Structure 1
Amino acid sequence: MSSQPIKLDENSSDEDHDESQSGEIEEAGDAVDTGVIEEPNEAKSGRKRKSRVWDFFAEVEVKEKGKMVPKVQCMHCKKKYKHVSRGPTTTLKRHIESKCPKIRQMQGKTQGVINFEPQENVSLPVGLCGVYDPMKNREIMARMIIAHELPFAFVEYTWFNHLMKYNNPAFQPVSRFTIRNECIKVFESDRDEIKKLFRNTSRISLTSDCWTSNTTVGYMSLTTHYVDAEWKLQKRIISFIDLSPPHSGQVLADGILECIMKWSIQDKIGSITLDNASNNDRAATILMSNFQERGKLHFDGLFFHVKCCAHILNLVVQDGLSVIKDCLIKIREGVKYLRKSPGKLFQFGEIAIGLGIQTKRSLCCDVKTRWNSTHRMIESALHYRSTFHQYAERDPNFEWELNDDEWASASAVCKFLEVFLDATNIFSGTLYPTSNLFLVEIFNVKKVICDAYGSSNEFLRTMSEPMFQKFEKYWGEVGILMAIASILDPRYKLVSVEYAFKELYPAYEVEERIKEVTNKLKKLHLKYAKERVTCKAAASTSSMSAADALVEPSERSQNQEIFKAFLKARVGEKSTKSDLETYLEEPIFDEEEQAEGTFDVLLWWSQNCSKFPILSKLARDVLCIPITTVASESTFSAGGRILDDYRSSLTKDMVELLVCGGDWMRTEITAKSKKSTILTLQQAAKAEENLNVEVPIKNPSTI
């Protein structure tokens, strides 16, 4: 961290002192007898020297022409100047501020201090000028409280105040009541800024989900998704409200409507993504009817209600896992049996080492409702398969040993579920578009299920049968949204639809379904084209109306005649192709030209928006539609941390402030610093722990 040059700001009446008259001599090391350095004395008048230059200079005597002459010497570079007992010290100031090489060198070496580079748009309590602003400091403390989910009483901690006072003696402690009020001010300020962003956003998509706290109070989270002016996908949690039971479709719809009316975005909603539940379906129907009556149902209602793909995948996989539930119970109970006793776990680890198995892999226990954790549990059990067999022979109380057929089934299931795991991870992204990736991934899922359904392996065939039925129930017909979004990805275009539909539908239906998708895409494109013309005409009329007041009638008539002549000249011109037709005729984008995993579909459209002005706007609005509710579900983790057993009495407004405000701040800081997500206090504590229980090995010296 570079330092600023030293400035000696003294209120002195000293006049400028000409350096040429100062008697400057050569530096130490030349053939000059410098004499002995002495401490600076007070002036002969007895008045104590107040100038700061004497912190850098000392009085010395130098032999010149056989006489000892008093001089002043820089303590750093040993340069000497004429002795100044009384009068101006301008030359000495100039030496300290700009001429001394040793001082400049020390300013460039700031060792042992972490270099916190200032971030854009992030105000610091102490600027480069060194001015301390207590109100700005209080604001930053409030942001720290919200972003890291700290208690308000944190500002009253003794050692926190000691630290702040040590860093700046001007720091004044504040109470938890003061910082709570400051948090409210910060939240309201950030909310106003987000509202300004929403005013410049053409289309907003929503995700919503419900959660019950430890006090049995039901909460609903509402998250917005949109593409900003820089073509970056953004998400903001705008509501975390309590709902009165029962959570019927009408109650959910009323809560969502109240929230979007409060944020004044009721005319911008393009879609809402919900879990697959009957009350959510009812809520979506009510909302769609409301928007349709007001004439604000965008995309002709094609994409309004999106069902969470991750939830449907979970239902499909859970049906398949039900076939091996007895095998899963044995693995789950066996892992629990070993993990609950350190002694048994040590013995298990010794057996693994004896068999040449690495013990760095943990024994995982799953959460029954999360199939991905079940997959992780099966993987870890398969890693220690032979260890389980050896341990069962030594411990007569171990009742959960699997036979060879059960191990074979577990291995087949683990491999079978890998494609589902990959698809879920891709669908769950919140920082990149996901609707354009659905068609390719769901094709892989359908292919795996169909291959297992027609397999000669009786176990796989039995397992895939309920999965196939569930898949056909929800995705027997691929949504129009997924097909159009895939076409709007320049890597796929119509090729992905043609290829996937041939595998997903009977041959006699493929052509008709592809035609249906392209017709709806053309219809949407035409609608966007008409809206663009209408907006241009309105802007032109507005500008002409403003100009009419300044233009004389005769001049106005002359301008109209020129405009009519221009229109007549364009009548004979041939109409050009639409940008949709041009886009579809161009070859697909070659992703191999870029590094794997680096393609950004929004970046591509931002670079080609001038070439496809209408289609790019449609792509912007479609690609911001999420296909899972993961963004809203992640809110409940924050809600669980904030509404713990010690803070369960927080008011609903304060809970919403901490949940939403924390999301805004962490999102903003993470985007600006381009680092991983900022951790809260509990998240940081968990990151420092080894949550996965590693199979331990005894120290040989203690055996």
Structure 2
Amino acid sequence: MISTYVVEYPHCGDRLCDWLKDRILEWNIDKKLFSIVVDNASVNGGMLDGIRTWLNGKGLLVHHGDMFHIRCSAHIVNLIVKKGMEVIHRLIEGIRKCVKYINHSLYRDEIFYLAFSQTRLTTKKRVGLNVETRWNSTYEMLRDALELKEAFERLADLDNEYKLLPTKDEWERIYVNEWQLSDVDYIHMMIFFMQDKFEYEDSSLEAPFGCGVGDQVERSSGLVEASTQSSLDFRDFGRFVRERSTLSSLAKKIELEQYLEESLFPFNEDEALSFDILQWWRHYGKKFPTLSKLARDILAIPASTVASDTRALLNSETVESLLCTKDLLPPLDGQFQALNLD
């Protein structure tokens, strides 16, 4: 992490673009950028459009910046899951209200602890309030609430003001560990909504990463015929590998030509699915140093964005110092040493 910034009003793409451009120039990385990962906020799209135009004007982006704007994979997964969760939105809100009720005051928390102790539950978990932008926190809230179901039921007996206890049917619908095995209609509806959202979000990845594997094979050199009957038919490809392996060139050539004429990695149909392309490039990195660097950039798993949890009443400079100091300081003895703050 090299910098943070508190965006003041107006939160527009042009303003973010100007700030990001200043940071890029400050760190002299304008010639080293391959892609930038952001979430789906429209203001981020405007910001990266400006940066892409600026860098393209200097001829610094690969393939004119087609792979420059990468949408956060974690954010996309969150959108897909939230779409499915809409089916049980009222149920989730009911559990959230239960958690808010307990956390509202120390007295209510003590009553809930009393209810918990009387049930003799062995779990040490407490139900935490979910963060709506993080689907996994919603899952954890539902899972923990299930483990404390008896404590919630006992709370309803001890506290006359507690009127939020879920019904028996609602508790049954929360059994998240059994969703994958369920044949209940609302579970199927959740899956349908999530599949529909996935297909919509997946279409946005075709520009930087291409379409399906079958389409990529059909658009290749024609040496392999893609089977429309089976996406895992490697017989034609295996034949091509065996023929191509005998055509290696011994002449002195540039690195790219050597790579293109290299004998292809032999594997049978059973080994095809377990082939690790990253491991291959690690092994042949010294033989193809330049191409291995390109492969490292192209094959790198896109990073994901993380929403800031900083809520302290600190100014932006202090927050930046606290978050970035470790990455900006030189390492001690080759690695950062943990500070003893006791």
Structures share a fold, TM > 0.5?
Answer: yes
Q: Secondary structure at the match of 1:256?
A: helix
Give the whole-Å Cα distance in 1 for the aligned partners of 2:294 and 2:102.
56
Partner of 1:661: 325
Q: Note closer, same or farther for the CA distance 1:586–1:471 as it changes in structure 2 (3 Å cut).
A: same
Q: Is this contact kept in 1: 2:37–2:304, CA < 8 A? A: yes
Provide the residue aligned with 1:408 in structure 2: 172
Q: State whether residues 73 and 302 of structure 2, in contact with CA within 8 Å, keep that contact through their aligned partners in structure 1.
A: no
For the Cα contact (< 8 Å) 2:123–2:147, is it kept in 1?
Answer: no
Could you tell me how far 1:390 is from its partner in structure 2? 4.2
1:618 corresponds to which letter in structure 2?
A: L
Alignment partner of 1:617 is 2:280: no
Q: Using a 3 Å threshold, how does the CA distance of structure 1 residues 382 and 242 change in structure 2: closer, same or farther? A: closer
Name the counterpart of 2:187: 460
Give the drift of 1:680.
9.3
2:113 aligned with 1:349, yes or no?
no
Q: Match of 2:34, SS?
A: strand
Cα deviation digits, residues 479-524 of structure 1 (max 9, x gap): 46557xxxxxxxxxxxxx9xxx4xxxxxxxx6323445x67xxxxx
8 Å Cα contact 1:271/1:625 also seen in 2: no
* Number of equivalent positions: 307
What TM-score, normalized to structure 2?
A: 0.73
Counterpart contact for 1:392–1:401, Cα < 8 Å: yes
Say whether the 8 Å CA contact 2:111–2:155 is kept in structure 1: no
Q: Deviations over 1:194-219 (max 9, x none)?
A: xxxxxxxxxxxxxxxxxxxxxxxxxx
Q: Rate the CA distance shift 1:671–1:374 in 2: closer, same or farther, 3 A.
A: farther
AA matched with 2:214: E
Higher relative contact order (CA 8 A, sep 6+): 2
For residue 327 of structure 1, what is the amino acid of its counterpart? L
Structure 1 position 285 matched with structure 2 position 52: no
Question: Does the CA contact (< 8 Å) of 2:85 and 2:190 recur in 1?
Answer: yes
Residue identity matched to 1:476: S
User: Counterpart of 1:303 in structure 2: which amino acid?
Assistant: M
Residues 284 and 600 (structure 1), Cα distance of their counterparts in 2 relative to 1, 3 Å cut: same
Cα distance in 2 for partners of 1:463, 1:589 equals 34
1:303 aligned onto 2:67: yes
State TM-score, norm by structure 1.
0.38
Does the 8 Å contact 2:111/2:158 carry over to 1?
A: no
Contact (CA 8 Å) 1:270, 1:299: kept in 2 or not? no
Of 81, 84, 101, the match for 1:320: 84
Separation of aligned partners in 2, 1:607 and 1:302:
29
Q: Is the 8 A contact 1:352 1:359 kept in 2?
A: no
Aligned to 2:237: none
d(CA) in 1 for partners of 2:340, 2:202: 39
Shift of 1:466: 2.9
Tell me the amino acid that sits aligned with residue 168 of structure 2: D
In 2, Cα distance between equivalents of 1:671 and 1:325: 50
In the alignment, the residues of structure 2 paired with residue 572 and residue 514 of structure 1 have an alpha-carbon distance, to the nearest angstrom, of 28
For residues 421-468 of structure 1, give each alpha carbon's deviation from its aligned partner in whole angstroms, at most 9, with x where no partner exists. Answer: xxxxxxxxxxxxxxxxxxxxxxxxxxx8xxx9xx85311122233322
Q: Distance between the aligned counterparts of 1:670 and 1:405, measured in 2? A: 60
Mapped to 1, the partners of 2:41 and 2:163 lie a distance apart of: 39
1:611, CA displacement in angstroms? 3.4
Q: Which runs of 5+ in 2 are unaligned?
A: 222-248
In the TM superposition, 1:529-548 aligns within 5 A as none
**Greater fraction of residues in strand:** 1
Deviation at residue 255 of structure 1 after TM alignment? 1.4
Amino acid at match of 1:362: R
Cα deviation digits, residues 638-667 of structure 1 (max 9, x gap): xx37xx43x54x7x4x664554334333x9
Q: 1:265 & 1:614 partners in 2: Cα distance?
A: 19
Percent identity (aligned)? 30
**Which secondary structure does the structure 2 equivalent of 1:239 belong to?**
coil
Closer/same/farther in 2, CA of residues 511 and 391 from structure 1, 3 Å limit: same
Amino acid at match of 2:335: K
Classify 1:399/1:308 alpha carbon distance in 2 versus 1 (closer, same or farther; 3 Å): same
Per-residue CA deviation, residues 365-392 of structure 1 (Å, 9 max, x unaligned), is 2223332221111111111224433443
Is the 1:352–1:384 Cα contact (8 Å) retained in structure 2? Answer: no
SS at match of 2:174: helix
